Amino acid sequence: MANSRLSNIQRIQRTLQCVPRGKVASYGQIADLAGLPGRARLVGKVLRESPADLHLPWHRILRASGQLAFDAHSTQADRQAELLAMEQVEVIQNRVDLKQHAWQPSLADILFRLEQ
DNA sequence: CGGCTGACTTACC
DNA sequence: CGGTAAGCCAGCC
């Protein structure tokens, strides 16, 4: 495979960069797409520890239910809602409507983007 | 090597 | 829909 030598952390970072503006994905979905099924928690760790200059779209990552991963009204949740609002994604009651904004990439889309 | 921790998830009630 | 419990697995003692 073309990306076989990437570390798990790099795979996750690259997958995160594939999430387009105005769309959201869950931690588990990112893990799956990165070829690391079952490692949703690792995605959270990567988002928490990655340097800011990688410009990862952390605000587009939510729990599988559509809930933000932070407590409602926390500084982080407010910031996340603000960033999402700028992309026309509305957060209501600390949650995003997945039916409306879930990122559903085609396999071809993912393969293409990961080759970049 | 064993124990604990999480920006998680699913199943169940 | 909310609340709990158990499963999950890499990373860090």
Q: What is the pLDDT along chain A (116 residues), one digit of tens a residue?
A: 556 667 889 889 999 999 999 999 999 999 999 888 889 999 999 999 898 899 999 999 999 999 999 999 899 999 999 999 999 999 999 999 999 999 998 877 767 766 66
Separation of CA A115 and C1' C9 in angstroms?
A: 27
Shortest CA to C1' contact from A39: nucleotide: C9
Separation of CA A115 and C1' C5 in angstroms?
A: 41
Interstrand relation of A91-92 and A95-96 (parallel, antiparallel or unpaired): antiparallel
pTM: 0.90
- Give the pLDDT confidence score for residue A3 in this predicted structure: 64
Q: Phi/psi of residue A34, each to 5°?
A: -80, 0
Shortest CA to C1' contact from A42: nucleotide: C10
DSSP string covering A10-62: HHHHHHHTTSPTT-BEEHHHHHHHTT-TT-HHHHHHHHHHS-GGG---GGGEE
- Give the pLDDT confidence score for residue A116 in this predicted structure: 60
In strand B, the nucleotides that come within 7 Å of a protein beta carbon are 6-10
- Give the pLDDT confidence score for residue A4 in this predicted structure: 60
